[in-house]
Amino acid sequence: MKQIYNVLDYGAVPGTDALQTAGIQAAVDAAYLAGGGEVVVPAGVFITGTIKLRSNIVFRMLSGAVLSGSTNLEDYTHFLEDKLEPIDPDLEFDEDYDSDRVVLEKDKMVGAFVRHRWYDAILKVYRAENVKILGEKDSVICGNDVYNPDGEEGYRGPHAIQMTYCKNVEFGGYTVKDSGNWAHTIFKCDNLYAHDLTVLGGHDGFHTRACKNVLIENCEFRTGDDCIAGFANENVVIKNCYLDCACSALRYGGTDILIDNCRTHAPSTYGFRGSLSNAEKAASAPTNETHRHTQHTPFLYFCDFPVEIKKPQGNIVVQNCVFENPNSFFRLRFGQQWCKNRSLVDITFRNCKCTGVSLPIDLYCDEKEPCTLKLIDVEISAREGFEDAPFMHAEHFKQIYFDNVTVTGYSHPTILSKTEGEVIMKNSTEIDFRLTDVLQDKYV
């Protein structure tokens, strides 16, 4: 049985305006020095900066426990002085890392993790294994929409949880609310299990890059940005999740990906914080009905450059899902922003229903690796007022395969393409295929 380390016994005091990072960190360090253990955060509000978790630690928040992110950005830098597992910024720094772009060139993450403030987080984990972050009902990690004028897009503050180079990690049971940037920022980690999480507001709900063996299930995401995002991932299952967002429900890429029994909904509960005014961002103001609440698409293919993508990206299956009122059913826009690394070779939607679509499916593929799009037992309906919109835009595709696809609400459903490709229609609504030199920009 693991020994219990209550943060109260190490000097943390809830319900005060004072910073409680030291007491919480002391409990984590004591458990680590003993070879591992369970760190318990009881009910109450604990104001904190960065807490560095370590190997063989269960970090458990009891019912009513709240980790409340400090509004002082300097409270997120003390981990650089860590004596137990010291990080030398000079040795770890990678000169090839271009800090102005806030990306990690050529798969080099270490220098960025240490040096760049974009990686600030309430809970931070680095080169650790066998870590659990668990919460009981009504336990919360609250980011307070902390503002950083030098952060991403000139306002984004610390993440709620940030991990790099970890393995055997479990996340479960807690709520992340109003994260300054992403709720979960998980890079180069293996064997991840996330379950029964709730994310409210903030930005991306769960973002994995170059991760392997990931299971995300029974989670509720109501975010102001993407719900689940990431690229260059392998062997991922996302199932039984509710996805409500002001960007894309899934902005994802990788190989061997299964999305099963998920539901997306628009308009979103929380608006996109990028549509706030500068003054509102500086005041960490909430979004309201005047800010953007539309959902781009249930699935947007994602392939950025920070990680080298060595193998073809594909075998993505989306099945048994319901998509309510997105702008577009699916988007692959290779060559556009955040989609220039390596394109997708195949994706299948099976037994899915999508209502209220206003924009075409985008199937802009890489000429060197053309994509096959399969829709099997799928229903798609147009939003009122968009009856004359084309059904799909395509370029450099390998195959479009429809089997038992029902398309309603369009006056004349049409696939407009700049290039030839194989089109197979079986037991489906009649859809015209038309070659064109110029796609209709008003629908892009």
Q: Which top CATH class is 1-181?
A: mainly beta
* 23 phi-psi bin (left φ>0, alpha ψ -120 to 50, beta other): alpha
In this prediction the pTM is 0.94
Reference 302, options 352, 344, 266; nearest CA is: 344
Q: Does domain 194-444 have CATH number 2.160.20?
A: yes
Q: What is the pLDDT of residue 101?
A: 38
Q: What is the pLDDT of residue 86?
A: 85
In sequence order, what are the residues at sequence separation of 6 or more whose Cβ sits closer than 8 angstroms to the Cβ of residue 124?
Answer: 50, 51, 52, 53, 79, 161, 162, 163
Q: Is 20 helix (H, G, I), strand (E, B) or coil?
A: coil
In the chain, CATH 2.160.20.10 sits at 1-181
Reference 203, options 100, 261, 258, 281; nearest CA is: 281
Q: What is the pLDDT of residue 81?
A: 82
Q: Is 29 helix (H, G, I), strand (E, B) or coil?
A: helix
Q: What is the pLDDT of residues 359-370, one digit of tens each?
A: 999 999 999 999
Q: Taking the chain, what is the end-to-end CA distance rounded to the nearest angstrom?
A: 58
Q: What is the pLDDT of residues 349-396, one digit of tens each?
A: 999 999 999 999 999 999 999 999 999 999 999 999 999 999 999 999
DSSP letter at 3? P
Reference 227, options 255, 188, 187, 259; nearest CA is: 259
Strand partners, 244: 222, 265
Q: What is the pLDDT of residue 432?
A: 96
Q: Count of CB atoms within 10 A of residue 422's CB? A: 11
Regions of the chain short of the pLDDT cut 50: 93-108, 442-444
Q: What is the pLDDT of residue 213?
A: 98
Q: What is the pLDDT of residue 308?
A: 83
Q: What is the pLDDT of residue 102?
A: 39
Q: What is the pLDDT of residue 108?
A: 47
Q: What is the pLDDT of residue 299?
A: 98
